[in-house]
Amino acid sequence: MKKLREAHENDVASLNQTNMMPGLNLSALGIFSSGLSVLPPASGLHGSLSAPANYSPLLGPPSVLGGLYGVPSSGALSLQQATAEQEVVYLFIPTPAVGALIGKKGQHIKELAHYAGASIKIAAADNPDDPERMVIITGPPEAQFKAQGRIYGKLKEENFFTAKEEGKLGAHIKVPSTAAGRVIGKGGKTVNELQNLTSAEVIVPRDQTPDENDEVFVKIIGHFFASQTAQRKIREIVQQVKQQERKHQQTVPTPSQPSE
């Protein structure tokens, strides 16, 4: 047990050093905490006569809420999440999967939103023949991780992904137009490094017209962890650009008032 604990602590230290998902509190999620059991107890799956108090018939018992993606129960929500900056992600799911995500009388999507601590809305279809529907997820980083992970898990559970490979979904996030060039990098260097690092496809469409908030879209396509890592890295770049802009504004001297 001592050796296992040391190996676990080394893994956590290594993860913190690599900082693969900047801005995401993995400890708050409970993914690498020593108290999290990756495998659910046998009584939680077989032969149990009574369900836990916080058992959800749609999302499952707390120990298996994460399924493949290992995200914990809503008890892991922290004050930090409640006060963190709100992010918006536009996730695209197969149109036939909309019903499964909503659930009977909207019960599943309501429980999912409550569990993740995020706002989850399905946009109306522009065309009934569109193969994908847009799911708008609003919430801080931890809520994004939990909500998106659960959606990937639900689609896998409902066999919308092939069994031979991890399912891939498209996600769009908005970044300030001033940061788009930094995401691309000189000669596409940064975006290529992002793709190599995360295994996600990252696309910054050229010739975009910024919206009313002077923002443009970045498209990310990949399996769950690839998409999450790419989202976090891109948002880290955006934060760096914003910090540099603030420093520049602070160092620029203000014009002196004209003397009367």
Residue 82 has pLDDT above 80, yes or no: no
For the chain, the maximum distance between any two Cα atoms, rounded to a whole number of angstroms, is 88
Q: pLDDT at residue 99 above 90?
A: yes
Both tokens of 202, joined, read 């990252």
Tens digits of per-residue pLDDT, 7-36? 766 665 555 445 567 767 665 565 444 333
Within a domain: residue 22?
Answer: no
pLDDT of residue 259: 53
For residue 62, tell me if it sits in a domain. yes
pLDDT in tens, 163-215: 666 789 999 999 999 999 999 999 999 999 999 999 999 999 988 999 999 99
pLDDT tier at 85, thresholds 50, 70, 90: confident
For the whole model, what pTM was predicted? 0.71
**d(C-alpha 174, C-alpha 204), whole Å:** 10
* Confidence bin at 69 (pLDDT 50/70/90): very low
Reference 124, options 133, 132, 136; nearest CA is: 133
The letter for the amino acid at 2 is: K
Q: Is 247 inside any structural domain?
A: no
Task: Supply the CATH number for residue 92's domain.
Answer: 3.30.310.210
Domain for residue 132, yes or no? yes
Is residue 103 in some structural domain? yes
Identity of the amino acid at 229: T
Q: 17 lies in a domain? A: no
pLDDT at position 163: 67
- Give the model's confidence band at 161: pLDDT under 50 very low, under 70 low, under 90 confident, else very high: confident
Give CA separation, 225 vs 168, 176, 231, in Å: 10, 24, 10
Residue 92 has pLDDT above 90, yes or no: yes
Count of structural domains within the chain = 1
Residue 223: inside a domain: yes
Within-domain flag for 16 = no
Handedness of CA 201, 204, 206, 209 (dihedral sign): positive
Distance, C-alpha 113 to centroid of its chain: 14
Greater pLDDT, 231 or 65:
231
Crossing angle of helices 189-198 and 224-251, in 10° steps, is 140
Q: Greater confidence, 234 or 43?
A: 234
- Residues of the domain holding 191: 53-242
